[in-house]
Amino acid sequence: MPKGWRRFLFRLPIWLFRARLGRLLGQRFLLLEHVGRKSGHLRRVVIEVVARDDPAGPSWTVAAGFGPQSAWYQNLRATPRVTVHVGAGRHDVVARFLSPREGGELMARYAVRHPRVARRLCAFMGFELTDGSPEEFRQVGTAIPFVRFELAGPGSAVCDGPDREP
């Protein structure tokens, strides 16, 4: 997790959402409101959306770029019913943790749409790419924890992908 001025920059978009200016970030970022697993307090983090919508309905998929040890990711594991703000909208959702195979396919598709950003993200997360092929991005994607936020209905069950370490 970044510290000092980098932490300040990472957290700046939270203030945009809190000032009801989330629409300035478009549909590319969301504000995740979740409960701290230890403190029980409300926590907020802004995360890049790597994929939107699913054939089953509205959804937003994000990557835990700092890995499964990220506090927000661990908090979702403990309490998967959360709220996301995207643009000017607020949605009650349930977190579904994608399998490594699903993550690999998602990363390969993301790299086709955003090749330069995908390369930078991989470098930022510590992955060294050799050829930047779809297969290489697919392989990287199997190591990244991805979470899909799906609209929570009144009787929504918690959905969990195949065993990915919490």
What's the pLDDT tens digit per position in 50-102? 888 766 678 999 999 888 999 999 999 999 999 999 988 899 999 999 999 99
Q: What does the pLDDT look like over 29-58, one tens digit per residue?
A: 899 999 999 999 999 999 888 888 766 678
Domain containing 126 equals: 4-13+28-151
CA distance 45 to 140: 24
Q: Indicate whether 20 belongs to any domain.
A: no
CATH of the domain at 106: 2.30.110.10
Hey, what are 52's tokens?
A: 């939107």
Q: What are phi and psi of 53, to 5 degrees?
A: 60, 150
Question: Which residues in 29-65 are b (16+ Cβ under 10 Å) and which e?
Answer: bbbbbbeeeeeeeeebbbbebbbeeeeeeebbbbbbb
Q: Indicate whether 100 belongs to any domain.
A: yes
Tell me how many domains the chain contains.
1
pTM, two decimals, is 0.80
